[in-house]
A = this chain, B = another copy of it.
Amino acid sequence: MTTFRPLYDRVLVKRLEAEEKTASGLFLPESAKEKPQQAEVIAVGTGRVGKDGTVHPLTVSQGDLVIFGKYVGDEVKLDGIEHIILREEDILAVFDR
């Protein structure tokens, strides 16, 4: 299995499956453009870099369910599954089911 270490403020996420979305109580219509997307956090970077160069740990952790803007991030296929690499600032909120 491939392991993945996102850099600094980057976060690796995997989009939620349809059944997972239904269970979340959070409804994000597919049809609307630029609506937020639901995903699970798979791996996080060491932290965001302040202007003075120091690194501050991220707020999200592995396993968190998050929503993020539709057109942000880079897509990678990891062990056959689509993932997305985001910057933490592109994540709008963490939610619980």
Given contacts A53-B54, A80-B27, contact A92 B2 (CB under 8 A): no
Interface flag for A63 (CB, 8 Å): no
Seen from chain A, the residues whose Cβ lies within 8 Å of a Cβ on chain B are 1-8, 10, 12, 24-29, 32, 35-36, 43, 46, 48-56, 59-60, 67, 69, 74-80, 85, 88-89, 91-97
A79 to chain B, nearest CB (A): 5
A7 touches B79 (CB 8 A): no
A28 to chain B, nearest CB (A): 6
Residues of B within 8 A of A25 (CB): 1-2, 78-79
A23 to chain B, nearest CB (A): 10
